[in-house]
Amino acid sequence: MTSRSLVIVDSSNVSDYLQIDHSLPLQGFRTYVAISYIFFNVLGFVVNSWALYVVAPLLFAPSVKVPKSILFYIVTLCISDLFTMIGMVFLISEVILGTWTFSAPACTTYLIFDSLNKFMAPIIALLISRTCYASVCLNPKYQERAANLKFAFLQVFLCLVLVMIVLWPVFTYSGVDTLFFNANHTEKSVFTIHKCNFQPPPKIQLGFSIIACIANYAIPLAGILYWYLSVPYFLRRRAETTLVGKSGLSETAIRKVITTALVLTFVYVACWSPYWINLFAHQFTTNGLRKPLIILSYFIHLLPYISCTAYPLIFTGMNRAIKHAHAQLILNQRRKLRSFTDGATRQVRQKLGIFHKQDRSASPFIPTPTQSVQNQHLQPTSVSTNLNLLTSPSLQSINTTGETELEEMKRELTEKIILSPILAEIEKDRPSEATLENDASEVLL
């Protein structure tokens, strides 16, 4: 459809007109906005799905050095981000078509998913920082409680309930608004476009924005800075009174914690500060926004979605202990699968060997191989030469079952040779656990 100038008309004047749904062509700055939103939406789905793939199985692993509470927080964060990415699909559709094509309940659902990003992501980041602080700096009683999975679930559940209570204006004042334009008074028809809006009364909107800003920006930022930066101070003070400081492990752990705190704070401030500044500036602006400011608002609104991609990378990609635990879990699963398939293959070979032996003994036309012929088929080859030499006295009377056992011994020896470099690499990358500082580098990122 070709572009046309929009002449907004009062809905009361065209209430009995034929309403024709209209979509705006994707052109101009909206093209770049749509491309940017689609890119980060796809990236958000990929990154959060990868983080779930890495972290979720570790929740059920028997021995993982990272506290299960932190793993649960990361899984919750990824699930919340995926809901936000689903809501972002509705927004992308509106940007591309220029109109809201879904129902009013779908509009409310989108706004709820979008609000989860504003509330749950900062809260989860705050809980993770608190758990890291408690796991390193507090006494064993608080460390045990901080690592407890049930306690983590209870905290997340209570936070979710509180968030839903705070979001009551979104349930009450969200809906789809219809704009009427380019009315044809001769044919009594009018074009319409629809917009998903959240428009509570001004006082409620201002109060809601202030509460959301304090609860989901100021408090989490202060908590993240305090708890993360308290850990290096605690480690440095402890290193001064112990022998750990002489080994250099303390400085390594301190640098890791400071790097994590700086990266997380930078992402948090860069993604959320412009959003809240733009939100309050828009509420206190009486005149309409000009086109450059509208374009800027679109990209500022994109920043919180970018944080949905950054948080899983920080909490998962920068955590060496999580990556090591995941690699070890995958290696164990592959070895179990290989052992299962090898066992099934061995049983099939044994059955076939028995049937083959019976057929050979039952046939009068197939001669029994002599001792020299049997020995010719057992010449040592490949990696198991020494093994065959060591077992040569028993090869004189080997039967089909014996051949199967020898094959199994060869396979196990070959598996050790192949897997030994992988195991050595994993052990080299394993975080040290000899000191408190190494424990901190496992708990922290």
Domains of the chain: 8-330+436-443 (1.20.1070.10)
- What is the model's pLDDT at position 89? 93
The one-character DSSP state at 315 is I
Global pTM value: 0.72
Residues 6+ apart with CB under 8 A from 285: none
- What is the model's pLDDT at position 86? 92
Cα–Cα distances (Å) from 442 to 67, 85, 150, 234, 322, in that order, read 9, 30, 21, 16, 8
- Segment-wise mean pLDDT, segments of 10 residues, the chain, 445 residues: 54 74 81 93 95 90 82 93 92 90 90 86 89 84 86 92 90 87 80 87 89 90 87 75 53 74 88 90 70 84 92 87 84 79 72 60 52 47 44 46 57 57 53 44 49
**DSSP secondary structure of 408-445:** HHHHHHHHHHHHHHHHHHHHHHSPP-SSHHHHHHHH--
The SS3 assignment for 189 reads: strand
Q: How far apart are CA 410 and CA 395, in angstroms?
A: 15
- From the list 75, 63, 253, the residue with the least C-alpha distance to 153 is 75
- What is the model's pLDDT at position 161? 92
Contact status, residue 200 vs residue 107, Cβ threshold 8 Å: no
Helices (H), 363-399: 371-376, 385-390
Angle at 314 between CA 312 and CA 317, to 5 degrees: 80
Q: Token pair for residue 297?
A: 């608002």
Q: How far apart are CA 440 and CA 442, in angstroms?
A: 5
The SS3 assignment for 182 reads: strand
Residues 6+ apart with CB under 8 A from 109: 87, 90
Q: How far apart are CA 113 and CA 230, in angstroms?
A: 33
SS (H, E, C) 190-208: EEEEEEEEECCCHHHHHHH
Q: Which helix (H) or strand (E) holds 211?
A: helix 202-213
Which residues are 36's β-sheet partners? Answer: none
- What is the model's pLDDT at position 397? 46
Angle at 121 between CA 116 and CA 125, to 5 degrees: 160
